[in-house]
A = this chain, B = another copy of it.
Amino acid sequence: MKSQKIPEATIIRLSVYSRYLKQLEKNGLITVSSGTIAEGVDGSPAQVRKDLAYFGEFGTRGVGYNVSDLNRYITKILGIDNKWNVIIVGAGNLGSALSQYKGFDERGFNVLALFDNDPEIVGKKAGKIPVFSAPRMTSFIKENNVEIGIIAVPAPFAQDIVDEMVGAGIKAILNFAPRVISVPDYVELRNVDLAVNMEVLTFNMTFQK
Contact = CB atoms under 8 A, between A and B. Distances in A.
Contacts of A171: 205
Tell me the number of copies of this protein. 2
Interface in A74-116: 77-80, 84, 86, 92-94, 96-98, 100-104, 106-107, 109
Interface stretch (A117-125, A136-144, A188-196): A188-196
A197 interface: yes
A196 B109 CA distance: 12
Nearest to A103: B195
B199 A15 contact: yes
A104 B198 contact: yes
B202 A172 contact: yes
A103 B147 CA distance: 28
A72 interface: no
Given A6-B207, A42-B180, A42-B182, A199 B20 contact: no
A198 B182 contact: no
Interface residues of A, number: 61
27 contacts: A6-B207, A8-B200, A11-B199, A11-B200, A12-B196, A14-B199, A14-B203, A16-B196, A77-B203, A79-B202, A84-B202, A93-B100, A93-B101, A94-B98, A96-B97, A102-B154, A104-B195, A104-B198, A107-B199, A148-B201, A148-B202, A171-B205, A172-B201, A172-B204, A174-B197, A174-B201, A192-B194
Interface of A: 6, 8, 11-12, 14-16, 18-20, 40-42, 77-80, 84, 86, 92-94, 96-98, 100-104, 106-107, 109, 147-148, 154, 171-174, 178, 180, 182, 188, 190, 192-207
